[in-house]
Amino acid sequence: MATIVGGIGTTHVPSIGKAIAEKKQNDPYWKPFFKGFDYVHYWLARTKPDVAVVFYNDHGLNFFLDKLPTFAVGAANEYRSEDEGWGIPVSRPIPGDAALSWHLINALVADEFDVTMCQEMLIDHAVTVPMALIWPASNSSVKAWPVRIVPIEINTVQHPLPTLTRCLKLGRSVGRAIESYPQDLRVVVVGTGGLSHQLDGTRAGFINKEFDELCLDKIVGEPSALTHYSIHDWVQLSGSQGVEFLNWMAMRGSLTGRVSELNRNYHIPISNTAAATVVYDNQPQAVRKAA
Ligand code: DHB
Ligand code: FE
């Protein structure tokens, strides 16, 4: 059966892609952010996942305001990106795992999550930047990607957005589905975006460190404590793009075991964003002994 080895949360700011292309990882501005990935690389070298399930939000590359699903699951064997006009490079195509995607889609629909199924889906910076951060060697043309992906899109762009509770439940459904997959795959779940940031309007540049730290503290052991906030509260406390935390809630929901934080890096700012990188361990719950 498939097992969930853990979760990774990371910011997906597009200018990170440009910094990678220009090899600026050790520049004073970038170093404190990129250092946060040393632990990610160490942990991945030990856990060796085969597949990454990636919760992210599309920013207008594959879906636009005319047609925007609340939840969409990629079901392709390859995902390409395109020039988004941000100056980030187009990434190498990333292999998908369509068989696992269809298993997740079947399980989600049976669980009353009526997702949009995408046999073709362009991935934007919310997938390509995290992938290049998490598996840096594979973004160059030297090495093949060591994982296949299943991208799962959550609408954080056009209101009404799904609630935090709904995204936590989506994650739980995905977690149960992964664990019922008959192949012996090792799966890491990734949530991208956030933390607090606002790119537009009179509050452009808004960051809320205190609220971000509360979120990072609560999401590990009591994620449901965060579901008391409405989306409106979240925009006020975390900024209009801080709602990308919905992807983190889904990632956390998919971790079905005993969850602990193995590593956390928080750095302000990267572009307009409070940047966070975390690694969560997912220990299967001890099987209860028969009486
Ligand atoms: C920035 C952050 C984002 O999440 C995004 O999608 C685009 C830009 C930024 O801070 O520049
Ligand atoms: Fe974003």
Structural domain tally of the chain? 1
Q: Which residue has the tokens 């990636």?
A: 54
Domain contains 289: no
pLDDT at 291 > cutoff 50: no
Any idea which residue has 């459904």 for tokens? 173
- Helices vs strands, H then E, count in the chain: 10, 10
Q: Rounded CA gap, 142 and 193, in Å?
A: 27
pLDDT at residue number 287: 52
Query: From the alpha carbon of 193, which atom of ligand 1 is closest?
Result: 4
* Mean local confidence (pLDDT), 46-60: 98
Asked whether residue 288 is assigned to any structural domain, the reply reads no
pLDDT per position as a tens digit, 209-254: 999 999 999 999 999 999 999 999 999 999 999 999 999 999 999 9
Q: Is residue 291 part of a domain?
A: no
Query: Measured between alpha carbons, how far is 189 from 253 in angstroms, rounded to an integer?
Result: 10
- The answer to whether residue 69 is domain-embedded is yes
In a domain, 290, yes or no: no
Which domain does 193 fall in, by range? 3-283
| Gap between the Cα atoms of 160 and 289, Å rounded | 45
Q: Could you report the per-residue pLDDT of 143-181, keeping only the tens digit for each?
A: 789 999 999 999 999 999 999 999 999 999 999 999 999
Give me ligand 1 centre to Cα 221, in Å. Answer: 28
- Closest-CA residue, ligand 1 atom 4, reads 13
Mean pLDDT of all residues belonging to the chain? 96
Tell the residue nearest (CA) to atom 6 of ligand 1.
13
Q: In the prediction, which pLDDT does 142 show?
A: 66
pLDDT at 285: 79
Q: Cα–Cα distance between 151 and 247 in angstroms, integer?
A: 11
The CATH number of the domain holding residue 223 is: 3.40.830.10
Q: Is 192 in the pocket of ligand 1 (CB under 6 A)?
A: no
Query: Binning pLDDT at 50, 70 and 90, where does residue 123 land?
Result: very high
Atom in ligand 1 nearest the alpha carbon of residue 11: 4
Q: What is the mean pLDDT of residues 71-90?
A: 95
Is 106 domain-assigned?
yes
pLDDT of 290 above 70: no
Q: Where are the alpha helices (DSSP H) in the chain?
A: 14-21, 31-34, 38-47, 98-110, 125-134, 136-139, 164-179, 209-221, 231-238, 245-253
3-state SS, 47-110, equals HCCCEEEEEECCCCCCCECCECCCEEEECCCEECCCCCCCCCCCCCCEEECHHHHHHHHHHHHH
Residue 186: inside a domain: yes
Q: Which residues are catalytic?
A: 125, 197
